[in-house]
Amino acid sequence: MAKYIVRRLLQTIPVLIGVSILVFSLMHLIPGDAAQIMAGEAASEESVEQIREKLGLNKPKPVQYFNYVSNAIQGDLGNSIRSGRPVVDEIKGRFWVTAELAVYATILAVFLGLIAGIISAVRHYTWSDVSIMVVALFGLSMPNFWLGLLLIQWFAVGVDFLPIPDFLMMRPSGWGDSWRQILLPVITLGTSGAAIIARMTRASMLEVIDQDYIRTARAKGLSEKIVIYRHALKNALIPVVTVVGLEFGAFLGGAVITETIFAINGMGRLTIAAITERDFPVVQGTVLVISLLFVFVNMLVDISYRMLNKRIDLS
Amino acid sequence: METNVLEVHNLRTSFYTDDGEVKAVDGVSFTLPKGKTLGIVGESGSGKSITALSILQLLASNGKIIDGEIRFKGENLIGYSDRKMRDIRGNAISMIFQEPMTSLNPVFTIGQQISESLIKHQKLSKRDALLKSVDLLKLVGIPSPEARVRNYPYELSGGMRQRVMIAMALACDPEILIADEPTTALDVTIQAQILQLIKELQHRLGMSVVFITHDLGVVAETCDYVAVMYAGQVVEYSDVFTIFKEPKHPYTIGLLNSLPRHDMEQDKLEPIRGNVPNVRDMPIGCRFSPRCPAATDLCRAELPELSKDDKGNDVRCWIYSDNWDGEMEVNVYGEKRIAQGRGVKAVFSD
């Protein structure tokens, strides 16, 4: 197992190189002169040159890439053009806000998704299955900007049950002090994931329930609870784990809309702001961090896959 | 006195599908004396496996026992609550299946899977259950059982997995072992080993066995009694010697004639002509009548009951009643016999 983990870690190296090249190229894929665009149309020749100098854009591209990577490894992602602060510092505070949002959204998605999926599978073709699947289809099709607005309208504006989230300002440690503040954004972000996990769990459970070994388990005289939760679920979870991993990655990257609606100062809003303000070092930084996380989460998924399913001999 | 550990009377099991009711088992009766082996023989789709699953009430959710009695030591299991049935399954009656490759759960170790029934039925601790699992693996002839309990199913061959299944079934000293084609999926050499193992364990542990197979060779080798099934019904039930020496039902005769024999010269095998009827479109009369060389109008019009002949064996055929007015020659192992009202009367030798 340890051998496998090391091996899997080594396998991420080429992926990381690919990611770094893509992120680095962001700066150079902009049509025209990146320095000119950053400086703005009205900028003088002199200030454009200054920016070019500052970003090292006058050096050959391989040298630029090498500098970028070696700085990045040392934790230096350059400085924000807008604020002048190091990109790492800009990201640090925001990162935990988004991470927390994504973690809670994942927990919600897994919790709701698994329960709904299992109930649906165990009672398949009954009205509870049909209604759960209809709700799941809604959850899946509902764009989350729309869901977010509806939730605000229903729970915050209408009944005053939850605070209107305009004060959800970033705090260094993350969220405010109340679960109420985090609830609506988490629901907004997590709903589609819950729907996907529910559908996946149902399909996977239905396939497993028909297997011969489930009949064997019943033939041993085990109760239906043990047959479902011990014998069926452990097998059915194997494909679901992949989906959970991918969803978590998607939540991290996809929090942009949710954060914008709920005025949460996370990575998503930082990225949006950086894009509109042409703060390219920050854009590069956020994309890099999210990509790294995605790679890392995928690795964890593969490892848990192996722990769940003894038949997969990956090493 | 011989007591019957299992008596099945007129069992009917149906499946409810989108296309309507499918009568998979429609009139199955047999008895299993204590310590003996009963073979249930028939073609695929004749309802053998469904009969077995009905005994343990392990039918798929759209299947239902609609009539009949299943008496285990005198008590009718039909009508037992699921909780009461769970105490029987894997404990007093256990079952092994046709497919050893897929019948074990891939994500649990062998030891965990055997332990489960011990923990459930004998209330053993996890540790004791695992120790007993090692003993059981030893009993079924698995080498180095101490190491094997920690193996996952994928680490074992098909034959070994079937041994594990047997160990699992024997864990709680069942009174009846139901073996549903336990050797069909295995190599011939392994088949013989597994059959031998079941026979041996039966003698050692004194259990009764229901052996489901389509292989008459297996029946001759292992069984004391035989129930021949055709299209969801038992058509003949008697002891194994009678079945092979004096088969009565034309279907049984046909089955035997389609077997190759080593003790006499045969130019060719005689197949049973025609096909098994569709479960959704059963003949009105005797279900074998469209394929039966002796069928008369009576056979085609009315379904015969399973009834005792003058020797006390069960047969479902009009030939053995007073009402049958046909006359035909039957060929049993090359011997010509004549079938006439109240049975196969005269025996000629060529």
What's the ipTM?
Answer: 0.85
Contacts of A216 in chain B (CB under 8 A): 97, 103-105, 165, 168
- Is residue B210 assigned to a domain? yes
Report CB contact under 8 Å: B107, A235. yes
B115, pLDDT greater than 90: yes
Contacts of A211 in chain B (CB under 8 A): 102
Helix (H) or strand (E) holding A139: helix A127-141
Please give the average per-residue pLDDT across A238-243, as a whole number. 88
pLDDT digits (tens, 9 = 90+) for A185-231: 889 999 999 999 999 999 999 999 989 999 999 999 999 999 999 99
Pair B269, B186 in one domain? no
State the angle between helix axes of A267-276 and A280-308 in degrees (0 to 180), rounded to the nearest 10.
Answer: 150
- Judge contact between B44 and B32, C-beta under 8 A: no
Report CB contact under 8 Å: A216, B86. no
Q: How confident is the model at residue B348 (pLDDT cuts 50, 70, 90)?
A: very low
Pair B58, B144 in one domain? yes
Residue B292 belongs to what domain range? Answer: 263-273+288-347
More confident residue, B343 or A168: B343
Report CB contact under 8 Å: B154, A219. no
3-state secondary structure of B6: strand
The DSSP bridge partners found for residue B228 are: B41, B236
- Judge contact between B189 and B121, C-beta under 8 A: no
Burial class (CB in 10 A: 0-12, 13-18, 19+), A275: middle
Pair B220, B296 in one domain? no
Interface test with B, best of A206, A212, A220 (most B CBs within 10 A): A220
Dihedral sign for Cα A192, A195, A196, A197, please.
Answer: positive
Contacts of B82 in chain A (CB under 8 A): 224
Contacts of A231 in chain B (CB under 8 A): 105, 108
More confident residue, B77 or A266: B77
B120 vs A212, A213, A221: nearest CB? A221
The DSSP output letter for B271 is P
Pair B308, B221 in one domain? no
Any idea what the CATH number is for the domain that residue B17 is in?
3.40.50.300
Pair B162, B296 in one domain? no
Pair B178, B307 in one domain? no
pLDDT, position B282: 86
Which residue in this structure is represented by tokens 């991993």?
A: A245
The CATH code that applies to domain A90-308 is: 1.10.3720.10
CB contact residues (below 8 A), chain B span 190-219, against chain A: none
Please tell me the distance from the alpha carbon of residue A47 to that of residue A37, in angstroms, as a whole number.
12
Contacts of B116 in chain A (CB under 8 A): 217, 220, 222
- Is residue B8 assigned to a domain? yes
Minimum mean pLDDT range among A56-70, A196-210, B2-16: A56-70
- Is residue B253 assigned to a domain? no
**Interface of chain A against chain B, CB under 8 Å?**
211-213, 215-224, 231, 234-235, 308-311
Structure tokens at B229: 């099934």
Contacts of A221 in chain B (CB under 8 A): 85-91, 117, 120-121
Burial class (CB in 10 A: 0-12, 13-18, 19+), A159: exposed
Pair B40, B86 in one domain? yes
B97 vs A212, A310, A311: nearest CB? A212
- Is residue B185 assigned to a domain? yes
Report CB contact under 8 Å: B106, A310. yes
Please give the average per-residue pLDDT across B201-206, as a whole number. 89
B173 contacts chain A (CB < 8 A) = no
Please tell me the distance from the alpha carbon of residue A76 to that of residue A94, in angstroms, as a whole number.
17
Pair B49, B179 in one domain? yes
Q: Which residue of A has its CA nearest to B84?
A: A221
pLDDT digits (tens, 9 = 90+) for B263-320: 766 677 777 878 888 877 888 889 998 888 878 888 888 898 888 877 778 889 888 8
Distance from CA of A221 to the nearest CA of B (A): 4
- Judge contact between A280 and A79, C-beta under 8 A: no
Q: Which range has the top average pLDDT, A52-61, B168-177, B308-317?
A: B168-177
- Is residue B102 assigned to a domain? yes
- Is residue B85 assigned to a domain? yes
Contacts of B89 in chain A (CB under 8 A): 218-221
Distance from CA of B115 to the nearest CA of A (A): 10
A220 vs B107, B117, B152: nearest CB? B117
Report CB contact under 8 Å: B102, A212. yes
Contacts of B123 in chain A (CB under 8 A): none
- Judge contact between B47 and B235, C-beta under 8 A: no
Report CB contact under 8 Å: B90, A309. no
Pair B220, B298 in one domain? no
Pair B221, B293 in one domain? no
Structure tokens at B134: 């090692």
Report CB contact under 8 Å: A220, B165. no
B165, pLDDT greater than 60: yes
DSSP string across A140-204: HHS-HHHHHHHHIIIIIIIS--S--GGG---BTTBS-S-HHHHHHHHHHHHHHHHHHHHHHHHHH
Q: Which residue of A has its CA nearest to B168?
A: A220
pLDDT, position A277: 81
How far the first Cα of chain A sits from its last, in Å, is 8
A164, pLDDT greater than 60: no
Distance from CA of B4 to the nearest CA of A (A): 22
CA B64, B66, B67, B68: dihedral to nearest 10 degrees? 0
Pair B189, B137 in one domain? yes
- Is residue B95 assigned to a domain? yes
CA atoms within 13 A on the CB side of A147: 19
Look at chain B and report how many structural domains it folds into.
2
**A-B contacts at Cβ under 8 angstroms:** 71
Pair B332, B205 in one domain? no
Distance from CA of B29 to the nearest CA of A (A): 22
pTM comes to: 0.79
